Amino acid sequence: MKIGIVCYPTFGGSGVVATELGIELSKRGHEVHFITYKQPVRLDLLGSNVHYHEVTVPEYPLFHYQPYELALTSKLVDMVKLHKIEILHVHYAIPHAYAAYMAKKMLQEEGIYLPIVTTLHGTDITLVGSHPFYKTAVTFSINKSDAVTSVSESLKQDTLRLFDIKNDIHVVTNFIDIAKHTHQFNDCQRDLLANEDEKIITHISNFREVKRIPDVIKTFFNIQKEIPAKLMMVGEGPEKEPAEQLCIELGIEDKVIFFGNSHEIDRILCYSDLFILPSKTESFGLAALEAMASGVPVISSDSGGIPEVNIHGVSGYLSQVGDVEDMSKNALLILKDENTLANFKEAAKKQACNFDIYQIVPKYEAIYEATLSKCKALL
Ligand code: GMT
């Protein structure tokens, strides 16, 4: 198949999922075309089956806001015609599903039929999409997609609750390439960052309010009172500076390392003992899955789709949003005893295997095929 993929090219989970999906589809013999404004961060494999087409939005002083949807729509039409793209998979409803629908209508005028698959990722529904400013257009775009998927059952239910949806929503969970997380390092040089007796706790996110960064710091503060430990904070975002300030106020700044965005997530996870994800809402929690795939147990909130990924008492523990005391208690339960820690590490890895890329990508292929057949039958 010739598949177009539209996504955000940044460090966010939706872009990561779209990129890993495209790479895997290309390995399975499909021709994949990424169409976005920058080469996706994890896309380093451009080749005969993977192409990248940049959407450029020229600055024009008349516009207070530069019209990205318009530029994306035009690019989609041009690329579909040039490369004979058969199906378009858009990740994140805003504005991708909307631009895709406009492109589809323009192509229809020329007798070209382009089926659209929209994957909902979370914030496009729970945080941004349901805002009254966007809701009408988001509802329309979801209903006009030829197939809709969501990355968890919880997100599907949120979508049905928040929007008036006429389409079926297929749950296709996020996935992970287990093999990649298994054999990469013989020695990840843990001793560069921590002493042998120190446990390493990690948090990775885009440091937005929804991630509840102060809860990560406060939980770590409680942990390090009981056992020697270091905290690795990976990512960039508006909550990073206040977090650095909080570490100073609590007197733990020498125990917390802020990395910024990193291309070495696998190495950081390789030497981690525990991952913390206390988010207020989280449709899936790809970062937690990546941690588990590296054998790192997860202390998380129980919000959104996280309980579908992190199993309480098995791969880690779940607490109510904001319950720092419970998260601290659970973290210490795992970390204080080496046998317990080893068991949780093994169970985390095992649970991650349920989301192996080789089980999930065929589900997308099946959806593409069914959508293409359904659309051809309607012609
Ligand atoms: O919140 C983020 O970390 C970024 C956001 C995005 O849109 O990229 O992530 C969302 O999509 C990820 C991939 O499907 C999910 O794993 C995250 O849980 C989801 N974030 C939220 O729901 C807050």
Spell out the SS3 assignment of 202-245.
EEECCCCHHHCHHHHHHHHHHHHHHCCEEEEEECCCCCHHHHHH
CA atoms within 13 A on the CB side of 325: 0
Task: Give the residue from 55, 59, 63 showing the smallest Cα distance to 90.
Answer: 55
Q: Is the CB of 91 under 6 A from ligand 1?
A: no
DSSP 187: -
The answer to whether 2-175+357-378 and 179-355 have equal CATH topology is: yes
The rounded Å distance from CA 248 to ligand 1 centre is 29
Contacts (Cβ under 8 Å, ≥6 apart) of 338: none
Determine which residue's CA is closest to atom 4 belonging to ligand 1: 12
Q: State the closest ligand 1 atom to the C-alpha of 8, by its place in the atom list counted from 1.
A: 8
Domain positions in the chain: 2-175+357-378, 179-355
Mutate to test the pocket of ligand 1, among 7, 8, 11, 14 (most ligand atoms within 8 A of CB): 14
What number does the ligand 1 atom closest to the CA of 17 have?
A: 13
Ligand 1 mean position to 206 CA, how many Å? Answer: 9
Cα distances (angstroms) measured from residue 340 to each of 70, 124, 275, 336:
55, 38, 15, 8
Per-residue tens of pLDDT for the chain, all 379 residues: 999 999 999 867 899 999 999 999 999 999 999 999 998 877 876 677 999 999 999 888 888 888 999 999 999 999 999 999 999 999 998 899 999 999 999 999 999 999 999 999 988 887 787 788 899 999 999 999 999 999 999 999 999 999 999 999 999 999 999 988 775 666 677 888 889 899 999 999 999 999 999 999 999 999 999 999 999 999 999 999 999 999 999 999 999 999 998 888 888 998 999 999 999 999 999 999 999 999 999 999 999 999 999 999 999 999 999 999 999 999 999 999 999 999 999 999 999 999 999 999 999 999 999 999 988 877 7
3-state helix, strand and coil shares in percent for the chain, rounded to the nearest 5: 45, 15, 35
Q: For residue 95, say if its preceding peptide bond is cis, omega within 30 degrees of 0.
A: yes
Sheet of 169-171, strands arranged across: 50-54, 31-36, 2-6, 87-91, 116-120, 147-150, 169-171
Amino acid at residue number 167: N
Concatenated DSSP letters for 136-156? HHHHHHHHHSSEEEESSHHHH
Structure tokens at 261: 């965005």
Residue whose Cα lies nearest atom 21 of ligand 1: it is 282
Q: Residue 271 carries which side chain, given as an amino acid letter? A: Y
- Measured from the Cβ of residue 132, the count of other Cβ atoms closer than 10 Å reads 6
* pTM for this model (two decimals): 0.94
Superfamily of domain 179-355: Glycogen Phosphorylase B; (3.40.50.2000)
Q: What letter would DSSP give residue 62? A: T
CATH number of 2-175+357-378: 3.40.50.2000
304 φ/ψ sector (left φ>0, alpha ψ -120 to 50, else beta): left
pLDDT for 45 equals 66
Give the whole-angstrom CA distance, residue 96 versus residue 55.
12
285 lines ligand 1 (CB under 6 A): yes
Mutate to test the pocket of ligand 1, among 174, 284, 309 (most ligand atoms within 8 A of CB): 284
- Which atom of ligand 1 is nearest to 286's Cα? 16
- Cα–Cα distance measured from residue 4 to residue 276, given in angstroms and rounded to the nearest whole number: 35
CA–CA separation, 307 and 304 (whole Å)? 7
